[in-house]
Structure 1
């Protein structure tokens, strides 16, 4: 049996070239396979997402706007929370003072309608896009433009609070010298709380026409306290009923959330100045009269001990109210 032949240098070179060639073929196969899968995914994605075409959408866009602001005031209030006259004036204000301009394809009326639908019904971008037959990018862009334009109207829509002067003679306010306003269910960082008297009539329903009049300073103070609380809760209740975005959880950034709330208050002032009859307020008062909103009178602070300073201030206010009440009767 002949001995095995020793490999020469040329044999080693041949084997090395063969191994390199096999590796190159394998890498080429992997690359071709990857590109094939990538192209198939692109083709599948392109077949699923229909291209955006503007011209076929125009009739539906015009029809949707006509249904909102072109038919009846009822439809306009339901969708945008204001009648057609108020809506037209708001658009004019935003054009003249807010710096809002017609887009190339989107009018000011449609821009404002998008924004109001978000506030009134807490609609997401995908819902607004579907309703108005626009792209999501277009809706987002114009909603932010209207947001900034409405904030520019704060000069004429914002009602600035006024301090109650020390020499005030109005029986409604003279007991609250130095006060600016109140917060709905929120307690700021102070040394104590001005709470009603415990164990004394408090709820407004206890002061009906057939019930006795206040018999002492404690009952009179609780009556006025309850009326003031009722007015504050009514104002915030109407706000939440008018603007759905205030009733639910929102995922906007904190900065945008603050601006949206400011817009709600500014628009609420605008609506109250432009609409003599507000269906939202009428509906809210009807629910209150029917007892559908429940009784919130037990929510005042009674789990924190009042400080002697605040108790003394309450007694001082109650004494003044009672003296005026006795002199008037």
Structure 2
């Protein structure tokens, strides 16, 4: 185009489209390089996503559940399901801030927030798959650790998760250790797979109070007649729940991570 020739509106639009396309190609190439690090190196994948790589797709199991089992995730215009799950797992694995994840994946904070909530919704819809169905210890069990607990379904306990609340709510969420947290009830089967979880209670709430609330909810924790869960002395020794004798040490080496 010569200096004396007038630039047409169509030429301006064409140049703008060319610049936008170039920007997206650079952005996509950066994301591909970042995800490529996860898929090509098992150690890096474990460090970044807390999940080992599986062939060419390090997040294939989670993605297949999200797509094929009612999770409802679909590819976006620019963000495919694999990248959506990678963003979500990156946040969970390292408690990263929105702006940090946005920098890693080269997306805006709004986009990161949108897909974190989208994947979270898919995970919640898959609770029937992810939450285990507990099986009680049978009468003919020969396991040296479990044969004394006929009818036991698993164990439960409370755990603290740090949260950020307003100043007016700080006293209610302050634990006995001085931290601002929410008290979460977690129930696991004998294989340490989650059966039930209840979050949202203030850190100042007692474990027994939260358990009572979970039992009173329409879709709360259910304990079949004649079965029970193991728990510590923070709970009452009652029907459906078995606590150790007072003063008895129960963190035994037979139940450690190296026990058979």
Superposition TM-score, scaled by structure 1 size = 0.40
More strand by share: 2
More helix by share: 1
**Rg bigger for which structure?**
1
Higher relative contact order (CA 8 A, sep 6+): 1
Superposition TM-score, scaled by structure 2 size = 0.49
